[in-house]
Structure 1
Amino acid sequence: MTDQPDLPASPIGFGRIAATLPVRDIARACAFYEGALGFSRSFQNGEPVGFVILTSGAAELHLTLQPGHRAAPFPVAHMLVDDIEALHALCQSRGLRIVKGLKSQDYGLRAFVFEDPDGNRIDVGQRL
């Protein structure tokens, strides 16, 4: 890796950035995020549907149909919640795989990692 000169701060103001999750089955993924987590569908595209935008409060999640999807072995999204205990219990009750157990971290979050029905790892935190 080469040394990079110090660059001035960017004058660009960034707005929202939304995670896009590849899923093998859009209907199943929507059922999980809408039914289990309370997201609402705000947009969908294609016939059959191949892309969906889900929202909940300020959170936005994009789902894209990828029938051959293989999940990455690391978290692909991070979400902050206001009741991590409830979300952890919900994930357990749905039989989702908890990759990293619920724990208070020294960086100021209580956190855990779960896999959605497509194996996408989601890192969840609540500020301490």
Structure 2
Amino acid sequence: MHVAHEFYTRILGFETVFENGDPVGFMVLRKDRAEIHLSRKPDHKASSVNVMHMFVSDAAALYAICQTQGVRIIKRLTDKDYGQRAFVFADPDGNRIDIGERLADTRQP
């Protein structure tokens, strides 16, 4: 859990708002209106599907941070036909995190 905590706080800018256990087995991280709950699970196996989806105000900026920090990118940053700029990365535990930014509606009436 220490590696995940370090990743979400140092790289993604979340702050710890709650911890429980000794050693810590559960924690809550918060950034703006987003909240992430981390649980210790020694036998954790990463899923092959996205386990978290986050909307952000600037997907390109977060993508650049991920690249700079050596985060494993699973799907590169692209503008989707459903109105989002999106990418998928893996956190240190291999969890797939889907990032999206809502784009302005450019359809003509």
Normalising by structure 1, report the TM-score: 0.79
> Does 2:37 align with 1:53?
no
Q: State the distance in 1 between where 2:71 and 2:42 align.
A: 20
User: Any gaps of 5 or more consecutive residues in structure 2?
Assistant: 104-109
- Residue type matched to 2:73 in 1? I
Once the two structures are TM-superposed, the CA of residue 41 in structure 1 deviates from its matched residue by 0.4
Q: Name the structure 2 match of 1:72.
A: 47
Deviations 1:100-122 (A, max 9, x none): 11000011100000000000000
Q: Secondary structure at the match of 1:31?
A: helix
User: Any gaps of 5 or more consecutive residues in structure 1?
Assistant: 1-25
Deviations 1:6-60 (A, max 9, x none): xxxxxxxxxxxxxxxxxxxx11111110100110101000000000000001000
Q: State the distance in 2 between where 1:67 and 1:87 align.
A: 29
Choose 1 or 2 for highest CA Rg.
1
Q: Name the structure 1 match of 2:6.
A: 31
Q: Secondary structure at the match of 1:100?
A: strand
- Residue type matched to 2:64 in 1? A
Deviations 1:73-109 (A, max 9, x none): 0100100001111100111111111111100001110
Q: Name the structure 2 match of 1:103.
A: 78
Q: State the distance in 1 between where 2:58 and 2:84 align.
A: 12
Normalising by structure 2, report the TM-score: 0.92
Q: State the distance in 1 between where 2:47 and 2:72 align.
A: 14
Aligned length: 103
Aligned residues with identical type, % of pairs: 53
Q: State the distance in 1 between where 2:28 and 2:12 align.
A: 14
Q: Secondary structure at the match of 1:99?
A: strand
